[in-house]
Amino acid sequence: MIEALLVAAMLLLPFVASAADPTTNPGRNLAHYTHQRWSEESDAPRPVTALAQDGRGYLWVATATGVFRFDGMRFEQISAGVDLVVHGAPSALLVRRNGEVWTNFERSGRFAVYRDGRLQFMRAPRAPHRVIAMKEMRDGTVWVLTERIGVPLMRFRDGLWTSFGIDAGAPLDNPFSMVVTSDGTVWVSFTGSVGRLTPGGHRFEFVRHDRGATGRLSMDPQERIWLTERRGTYPITGPGGRGSPPPLRHAYATDAAQIRGWPIFDREGNLWIATYYDGLQRVAHPDPRGAASPAEAVAEVERFTAPDGLSSNATTQIFQDAEGNVWAATENGLDRFWPATLRSEPVLRDPAAFGDLLLQASDGSVYVGQASTVYRVRPHERPTPIFKTRIEPRTLCEAPDGAIWIGTDDREVVVWRDGRVRRLGQKVPVFDTIYDCAFDAKGDYWVTAALGGMVRFGGGRWERMREPTGDGFLPKSMVADAHGRIIVQWNDRTLSWLDGAVRHATPIPFGGYQPYDVALYPASPDTVYVAGRFGLARLHDGQFQSISARRVPSFSGVNGMVRTPAGETWLTAPGGVLRIASAQLERAFSNPGEPLAMQVFGPVDGLRSRPHSHSRHAIVRGGDGRLWIATQSGTLWLDPNDLTRSGTRPKVAVGALVADKVYRDPNNLTLPAGTSNIQIDFAVLSFSNPRAGRVRYRIEGQDPGWIDAGMRRQAFYTNLAPGTYRFRLIAANDNGVWNEQGATVDFVIPPTFMQSRWFVALCVVLALIALWLIYRLHLAQVAGRIRNRLEERLGERERIARELHDTLLQSVQGLILRFQSVANKMPAQGPARAQLETALSRADEIIAEGRNRVQDLRVADGSHDLPALLRERAVGAGFDPAIPIRIVVEGRPRRVHPLVSVELGRIAGEALFNIARHAKANNVEITVRFAARQLGVEIRDDGVGIPEDVLVRGHKPGHFGLIGMRERAERVGASFSVESSPGMGSAVTMTLPARLAFADQAPRRLFSKLFRRSKVSGHA
């Protein structure tokens, strides 16, 4: 960050300047400007050859090392990509009305334009020689002056370039300068002539011929054309660049042989001239008639050179910015001149060792006591000496008759009145240096001497009023109030009122500070202000109220106070000159929480050194309203009605946004996806005091409130998420004027694929698929376990059937055959044989029933056909009388697992049995639903329905039909439900997943398919 080395007001030493009355000499002297420079000590680019300011407020600087722009704190290189070895240095700058910045490189002659955040070469003819200047007209026409002899002028209009050379009447002579009036007339000076090209003209018209004059042109606010040449500076036209100037008395002696840069008029009408070897020259408001005499022609020219602080005597250009700052380009950097609020007087440069003495007299005059001279300043006049002495003055007091009593360091008192000086004849009878003085209501003269006590002079003699008593009780500051009472500060923390023989004392609330010197300011008959290191106190109606320096640090060491008719209170303190609204100050005494807004005037306002710490009245007000301030290096003055602080809102700009690269002058940006860290460079473009302005910024929606940047001109953000952002910047100048509109930058950070919604959606889909796969796997595992149990049950049933068939039934059959053999041997008509035959018939029935039971244990192949099985159950249900039983098949029929088919058939048989015995139904409908994912069976009747208490309990007491049906359904993994309404019949519903119900549905079919596909793709 570039830091200016001279921020202090470098008020200029012994200039040759007019000493005329300020009311007759409008404008200010060069001594009334503050000066600041940026040179080799501050790493400023140099040498500087051209200056311009764009609409945003940046100062553009052309140097031997490239093109830069300056915001008051940093120099930013714009031409970093230009090869200066090939193209040479930029020689001129032009800011066009459309915001473009043009420059030209002197070696290649190529024009370049800055737009859209970068400097790029134009498709334009090369300049025939080094470009001296470029000017734009209101209609957008651009005039270019080059150093080419014979082809000095180029014009750009409507995208076309035109040259004006010898064919247009240009002389074979060196061009030097160019100005353009508002009517479009182009004026060009050559070594020995001045010519003009009128609007629409094609040839030069020459108005002056003077071989070797080497003149340069300038234009004053009235558009008079002035010529600065070897004989001096004078106008050559009337206002508007037309007509003849008034008769010239004497040209201003500006020593044209030294001139190399551009003489220009500032907006106040002052002429500034950059010379090559002699620094800056300035003529304040030059008269078109010239100087009255040769001596005045020389005296009117002020100079500022390297010994005065200029960065170099080799100056090249003068430029005035939008705020009124005057800039000087030199071979060693940049210099800025700003009209100072606090102004010095050349004669007040001999400050007293213990601070200048200031006294406001009753007639409006101000008296200034310096090291060897006392000055009087009448209203609207300059200081004039009234008393010179070899002994430094120590006190100044005004007697009731208007005489000024001057106490010197050797205890002598001198009385000055109406230009006559008389000595009192009697030295002050104290043993130490006199400290302060005052006149009471009777006209007696009181003097304190601290270690020497207190004395009073009246009736032509001195009277000792207080003997010195050591360090415990010493008189110090003293002042008379509106009643003529003497108010004295004692070093034992007390304040005394002396009214004849009456003494009234009041403790001073020092607030823990040691009782050093204080300053006293009576404001009204009942109010006295006391100031010191402790802060500022007000004694009103016998009560002290204080504003502690701990609360307001700027109040520590206040040693001067003035209240103006405009309702302002001015204070001097080590931190500068303070201005506060009097009403606000009074509220602050009564209310400790009252905010206290103040303006502080310091070095940039012309305060070249701090107010003198030993001056007890370091600020006074003259009858003309000017405030006079005693500083460490002399006395200054300011006019509260002529403060040069900028009242305009400061311009702010966002210079660059740095992410993966530098985006200069950003507006709407789309940054690379995934950007999370950015740096934003911004500027407060108020050159009158760039460091005093307040800057706040925030990203809307990101920052909870405004961030105070302090002295920083950069903002850093990290871990930004993808989204749309708006960066906003506001600022206030040193005068407290805010630019609330400020500057904004909108930028978008796109998400990477992993930050995008598509990625989130993909993750959600993958998570759902994973959950679905886990769910399917779980279902497959459950189905597998159920099918395994069914297979085990089927195998067990078949084993039992085999055992019953191979053992019990075969054995019983053999036994029956043996009994039949026995029966056959018995008499046919015997009763025993008849009984035995009956028993054998019953045994055959039992054998048949046993075979049927064994057959039931063995699941037949036909059990795969569930609808057919259900038809058998319906036929065997035993409805009496018979009722219609309708079987409906929905979907494509599939083979059902045998055990599932058997269990569903038995559940259906039980349901039909219940309908036949209890429902009193007229119709029954059996629906079989074959779906891709499940098998459903519903048995619905239109009977009386099932009682509600049975539905609630799930069974009828003593009956186990519903319980058995539910248990059979659970064994095969089916859901079972019974619905019924009184008089509306009932419905029994069973539902199984496809993987359990169908014989062609393997438990791990899905995973087998996936596995097979992966194998196929793996071998492809």
pLDDT digits (tens, 9 = 90+) for 457-477: 998 899 988 777 665 567 888
Of residues 177 and 954, more confidently modeled:
177
pLDDT above 60: residue 513: no
Q: Give the DSSP letter of residue 672.
A: P
Alpha-carbon distance of 365 to 371, in angstroms, equals: 20
H or E, element range at 269? none
Average pLDDT over residues 195-199: 95
Average pLDDT over residues 576-604: 88
End-to-end alpha-carbon separation of the chain, Å? Answer: 66
pLDDT above 60: residue 294: yes
Q: How many angstroms separate the Cα of 461 from the Cα of each of 133, 253, 424, 857, 976?
A: 78, 60, 10, 152, 132
pLDDT digits (tens, 9 = 90+) for 884-938: 889 999 988 888 888 788 888 888 888 888 888 888 888 999 999 999 889 999 9
pLDDT at position 846 is: 78
Q: Own/partner pairs for 968-975, CB < 8 Å, 24+ apart?
A: 968/903, 968/906, 968/907, 969/903, 969/907, 971/789, 971/793, 971/903, 972/786, 972/790, 972/899, 972/900, 972/903, 972/904, 972/996, 973/782, 973/783, 973/786, 974/900, 974/904
Alpha-carbon distance of 248 to 246, in angstroms, equals: 6
pLDDT at position 956 is: 75
* Cα angle: 798, vertex 800, 805; to 5 degrees: 95
- What lies within 8 Å, CB to CB, of 53 at 6+ separation is 59, 60, 95, 319, 321, 322
pLDDT digits (tens, 9 = 90+) for 10-59: 333 233 333 333 333 335 788 889 899 999 888 899 999 999 999 999 99
Q: How many angstroms separate the Cα of 343 from the Cα of each of 7, 359, 607, 630, 638?
A: 16, 18, 8, 12, 6
State the pLDDT confidence band at 944, using cuts at 50, 70 and 90: confident
Residue pair 776/695 in contact (Cβ under 8 Å)? The answer is: no
Alpha-carbon distance of 553 to 212, in angstroms, equals: 63
H or E, element range at 448? strand 445-448
Place of tokens 């059937």: 801
Residue pair 560/572 in contact (Cβ under 8 Å)? The answer is: yes
pLDDT at position 358 is: 95
pLDDT at position 17 is: 33
pLDDT at position 659 is: 93
- Helix axes 898-914 and 866-875, enclosed angle (nearest 10): 30
pLDDT above 50: residue 5: no
pLDDT at position 790 is: 65
pLDDT at position 473 is: 66
Alpha-carbon distance of 272 to 286, in angstroms, equals: 11
Closest CA to 1003 of 1014, 993, 1011, 1016: 993
The whole-angstrom distance between residue 855's C-alpha and the CA centroid of its chain comes to 93
pLDDT at position 1016 is: 39
pLDDT above 60: residue 868: yes
Closest CA to 115 of 102, 126, 124: 102
pLDDT at position 467 is: 75
629, two tokens: 């301030």
Average pLDDT in the chain: 85
**Cβ-based burial of 435 (10 A; exposed 0-12, middle 13-18, buried ≥19):** buried
Place of tokens 């319980």: 963
- What lies within 8 Å, CB to CB, of 298 at 6+ separation is 16, 253
Closest CA to 264 of 321, 185, 182: 321
Q: Is the peptide bond before 379 cis (omega within 30 degrees of 0)?
A: no
pLDDT above 60: residue 542: yes
Number of H helices, E strands in the chain: 12, 69
Average pLDDT over residues 59-63: 97
The whole-angstrom distance between residue 698's C-alpha and the CA centroid of its chain comes to 4
Average pLDDT over residues 96-114: 96
pLDDT digits (tens, 9 = 90+) for 765-823: 999 999 999 987 887 777 677 767 766 766 676 667 666 655 666 677 677 777 777 77
pLDDT above 80: residue 504: no
pLDDT digits (tens, 9 = 90+) for 346-398: 899 889 988 899 999 999 999 999 999 999 999 999 999 999 988 899 999 99
How much of the chain exceeds pLDDT 90, in percent? 50
| Low-confidence winner among 195-199, 408-412, 509-513, 633-637 (lowest mean pLDDT) | 509-513
Q: Decide: pTM greater than 0.85.
A: no
| Low-confidence winner among 196-200, 258-262, 329-333, 683-687 (lowest mean pLDDT) | 258-262
**Torsion of the alpha carbons at 405, 406, 409 and 410, rounded to the nearest 10:** -60
pLDDT above 50: residue 1004: no
Closest CA to 759 of 751, 748, 768: 751
Of residues 828 and 384, more confidently modeled:
384
Alpha-carbon distance of 630 to 342, in angstroms, equals: 11
State the pLDDT confidence band at 647, using cuts at 50, 70 and 90: low
| Low-confidence winner among 125-139, 336-350, 393-407 (lowest mean pLDDT) | 336-350
pLDDT at position 138 is: 92
pLDDT digits (tens, 9 = 90+) for 421-461: 999 888 999 888 888 999 999 999 999 887 778 899 998 89
Given CA atoms 346, 347, 353, 358 in this order, what sign does their dihedral have? Answer: negative
Return the half-sphere exposure (C-beta side, CA atoms, 13 A cut-off) of residue 850. Answer: 20
H or E, element range at 378? none
| Low-confidence winner among 222-231, 299-308, 949-958 (lowest mean pLDDT) | 949-958
pLDDT at position 21 is: 36
State the pLDDT confidence band at 186, using cuts at 50, 70 and 90: very high
State the pLDDT confidence band at 71, using cuts at 50, 70 and 90: very high
pLDDT at position 856 is: 62
pLDDT digits (tens, 9 = 90+) for 707-749: 999 888 999 999 999 999 999 999 987 767 888 899 999 999 9
Q: Which amino acid is at 389?
A: T
Residue pair 88/108 in contact (Cβ under 8 Å)? The answer is: yes
State the pLDDT confidence band at 625, using cuts at 50, 70 and 90: very high
| Low-confidence winner among 343-347, 410-414, 995-999 (lowest mean pLDDT) | 995-999
